[in-house]
Amino acid sequence: MMSEFYRNIVIATDGSENTLRAISYGIELAKLSGATVHALYVIDMTSFSSIPMDAGWEEMYNILREEGEKAISVVKERGKVSGVEVREMILEGHPSNEIIDFAEKNNVDLIVVGTLGKTGLDRFLMGSVADKVVRGSKVPVLVVRSEKQS
């Protein structure tokens, strides 16, 4: 079944086990609608703001980049198994801002993100990328809770 409703879907992943369910939802929606998936990982550059730029900084950056490549390869592999085209993208910056900007600049019809489902004080103090994407995006967002709830 081909649909004009979803042509481009972003699946934002941080490589954690909690995003696996969101990846499954995004791939299934893409399969049903004939959409292209954009597997998106954002290297959070805010974590580097207090570290002097030296060899240690570069090593940490390389580790995060490798994690990003692994994370989006999971999306790519699941897409391949389902017959869904997946384009891989690693960006740098603040994760929620980069996800929103990418979606708005690339004719994305849906953003799929996972969440831990935090509530109460944890959510208030930490916030989440998913919350920020939902609040800031002009593009529809599907938030998929992990099976494990806190």
pTM (two decimals): 0.87
What is the largest distance, in Å, between two alpha-carbon atoms of the chain? 52
Digitized pLDDT (tens) for each residue of the chain, 150 residues in all: 555 689 999 999 999 888 999 999 999 999 999 999 999 999 988 766 666 666 677 888 889 999 999 999 999 999 999 999 999 999 999 999 999 999 999 999 999 999 865 555 444 444 588 899 999 999 999 999 877 654
Alpha-carbon Rg for the chain, nearest whole angstrom, is 15
pLDDT digits (tens, 9 = 90+) for 86-105: 999 999 999 999 999 999 99
pLDDT digits (tens, 9 = 90+) for 66-86: 999 999 999 999 999 999 999
Query: What are the angstrom distances between the C-alpha of 50 and each of 1, 47, 91, 93, 95?
Result: 50, 7, 20, 15, 18
* ∠ CA 36-95-49, rounded to 5°: 150
On whether the CB atoms of residues 72 and 17 are closer than 8 A, the answer is: no
SS3 state of residue 57:
helix
Query: Domains in the chain, start-ordered, CATH in brackets?
Result: 8-145 (3.40.50.620)
| Residues 6+ away with beta carbon under 8 Å from 82 | 27, 28, 30, 31
